[in-house]
Amino acid sequence: MEGNAKTITVGLFGLGTVGTGVVKVLEKRSGLIRNRLGYDVRLKTICVRNLDRAREVNTAKYKVTTNSEHILNDPEINVVVEAMGGIEPARSYIKEALEKGKHVVTANKALISKHGQELFELAAKNGVNLAFEASVCSSIPIIKGIRESFVANSISSISGIVNGTTNFILTKMTSEGRSYESALEEAQQKGFAEADPSFDVGGKDAAQKIAILAMLAFNTAVDPDTVYTEGIQDVTAEDIRFAGNWGYVIKLIALAKKADGNGEGIDMRVHPMLIAKKHPLASVEGELNAVYLNGDLVDGQMFYGKGAGQLPTASAVISDVIDVMKSVAVVRNFNSLPLIDINDLEFSYYLKIPVIDRPGVLYRIAKILATNGISVAELLQPGGKESVPLIIKTHRAKERMMRHAFNELNKLAVVKKGAVMIRIQD
Ligand code: HSE
């Protein structure tokens, strides 16, 4: 193989966590890749913001520069890896690289979820490839799965645990009964959560990822900022315990689903959900990620593994570096399917309503539920003193009606602060 190896000359933008991982993996695994695939992957140039910063890897054998043109104008570089993150200047560099006939690999979920359509169209126009496996759940080959392995399928739904930070926190709260705050603190100490965790715990990271998966599966561009998103900040260990008694775990689920029947839209959302313990996603613990999808030929399939971290992300990037040299499918013929309003969907619900324990309270709550057409499936009133939570599981009801009822309940003088409403995955 050695003599016939085809050379891939790489220019890398960014030498943070991901870029450094790419350098490390290429140093260690170039020989393996050459033997397995016949490609000689050679990193030539690295473009950084600051030449003086101390680096984890020895960069002496590469050209390290702050000038993007040293990559973009080098005719020898045929693959550009973008590992800078953020929208600009990453977007401009990628566009210029594609226009100059270079293949591009990126790990940038913010960029692909927001500007994927523009970049795919530019790649197609210039006859080059744009790959982004690392942008969703890093090492898990979910992009490859959807666009290659399941290319002959009509995909009806994708649901996943695509954020490791929140899954780590919820797992700790479940297995150790810890509070949200204490589990978050441990996630930060272990390096899973950022110093400002709001992007992860608020569900925005998951919304970007599900927007990318939906784009691939349904050929549609969805602005992640328009996806209905709730985070895990209000989930308590008590809710997790009650859900557990009824056979559920609570997970932050990102979901994209084609409209049932003849409708045209997509149901797309990110929020905490009660998942039956026997569902494959229920057993995904700690910082791990998983994506469960349904294709008409393959039925339900789950992809599972590490969704973040330097080496798992670099693993996906390097795989893409080889892939772009072959032909990878770019997303073509974009639709713009409307998002279905969550108010028009139906769920069963877990409700926790902290109330004063007095005669007639249950009657008033049941009346509000009944007036809104909501039927109670199970009811629990764990013993307490003056104030007790009423734990209710409802039958399926329209979100619009449930929200209306929930607002009404919260107005009752006997209902205290902290009522909770979490949807149940049937
Ligand atoms: N912060 C993400 C997570 C990983 O917690 O899963 C990068 O998308």
Which residues face 107 on adjacent strands?
none
Q: Which long-range contacts (CB under 8 A, 24 or more apart) does 331-334 make?
A: 331/116, 331/117, 331/120, 331/147, 331/215, 331/216, 331/219, 332/120, 332/124, 332/219, 333/219, 334/117, 334/120, 334/219, 334/220, 334/221
315 lies in a domain? no
Band of residue 191 on the pLDDT scale cut at 50, 70, 90? confident
**Pair (211, 131) in one structural domain:** no
334 lies in a domain? no
Are the CB atoms for 87 and 111 separated by under 8 Å? Answer: yes
CA-nearest of 173, 330, 142 to 254 is 142
State the average pLDDT over residues 27-37.
94
Q: Total domain count for the chain?
A: 3
pLDDT at 262 over 70: no
First vs last C-alpha separation in the chain: 53
**Pair (77, 162) in one structural domain:** no
**Pair (153, 267) in one structural domain:** yes
**Pair (120, 195) in one structural domain:** no
CA of 289 to the centre of ligand 1 (A): 9
**Pair (92, 200) in one structural domain:** no
CA of 165 to the centre of ligand 1 (A): 6
pLDDT at 331 over 80: no
**Pair (293, 168) in one structural domain:** yes
Q: Which residues are catalytic?
A: 209
**Pair (127, 12) in one structural domain:** yes
State the average pLDDT over residues 170-181.
97
- Of 249 and 259, more confident: 249
**CATH number for the domain that contains residue 407:** 3.30.70.260
178 lies in a domain? yes
Are the CB atoms for 160 and 279 separated by under 8 Å? Answer: no
394 lies in a domain? yes
**Pair (298, 399) in one structural domain:** no
State the average pLDDT over residues 245-252.
97
For ligand 1, atom 2, name the residue with the nearest CA: 163
Phi, psi angles (nearest 5°) of residue 382:
-60, 140
**CATH number for the domain that contains residue 227:** 3.30.360.10
pLDDT given at position 1: 45
Atom of ligand 1 nearest to the CA of 194: 1
CA-nearest of 250, 285, 287 to 424 is 250
330 lies in a domain? no
Q: Which residues contact 387 (CB under 8 A, 6 or more apart)?
A: 354, 355, 356, 357, 416
Band of residue 382 on the pLDDT scale cut at 50, 70, 90? confident
306, 327, 350 - which closes a domain = 306
Q: Ligand 1 within 6 A of 205 CB?
A: yes
317 lies in a domain? no
Are the CB atoms for 161 and 284 separated by under 8 Å? Answer: yes
Say if residue 212 is exposed, middle or buried (CB neighbours under 10 Å; 0-12, 13-18, 19+). buried
Distance between CA atoms of residues 211 and 221, nearest Å: 8
What confidence tens digit (pLDDT) does each residue in 307-323 have? 999 999 999 999 999 99
How many other CB atoms are found less than 10 A from the CB of residue 114?
A: 20
- Stated pTM of the model: 0.95
Cα atoms in the 13 Å half-sphere on the side-chain side of 411: 7
**Pair (153, 302) in one structural domain:** yes
Phi, psi angles (nearest 5°) of residue 127:
65, 30
Domain range for 372: 342-424
Cα atoms in the 13 Å half-sphere on the side-chain side of 289: 25
325 lies in a domain? no
Atom of ligand 1 nearest to the CA of 109: 8
Q: How many distinct helices (H) and strands (E) make up the chain?
A: 13, 17
Band of residue 47 on the pLDDT scale cut at 50, 70, 90? very high
**Pair (20, 129) in one structural domain:** yes
What confidence tens digit (pLDDT) does each residue in 332-378 have? 788 888 999 999 999 999 999 999 988 899 999 999 999 999 999 99
CA of 163 to the centre of ligand 1 (A): 5
Band of residue 384 on the pLDDT scale cut at 50, 70, 90? low
**Pair (160, 302) in one structural domain:** yes
At residue 21's C-alpha, the angle toward residues 2 and 45, to 5°, is: 65
Are the CB atoms for 270 and 229 separated by under 8 Å? Answer: yes
pLDDT given at position 3: 56
258, 284, 306 - which closes a domain = 306
Distance between CA atoms of residues 390 and 380, nearest Å: 6
Band of residue 383 on the pLDDT scale cut at 50, 70, 90? confident
How many other CB atoms are found less than 10 A from the CB of residue 262?
A: 5
pLDDT given at position 54: 93
283 lies in a domain? yes
CA-nearest of 117, 138, 173, 424 to 291 is 138
Q: Is 85 left (phi over 0), alpha (psi -120 to 50) or beta?
A: left
71, 101, 135 - which closes a domain = 135
What confidence tens digit (pLDDT) does each residue in 73-123 have? 999 999 999 999 999 999 999 999 999 999 999 999 999 999 999 999 999
pLDDT given at position 334: 87
Q: Ligand 1 within 6 A of 308 CB?
A: yes
Please give the mean pLDDT across all residues of the chain.
Answer: 94
Tokens found for residue 404: 């209306």
CA of 9 to the centre of ligand 1 (A): 29
The owner of tokens 């997970």 is 251
**Pair (103, 163) in one structural domain:** no
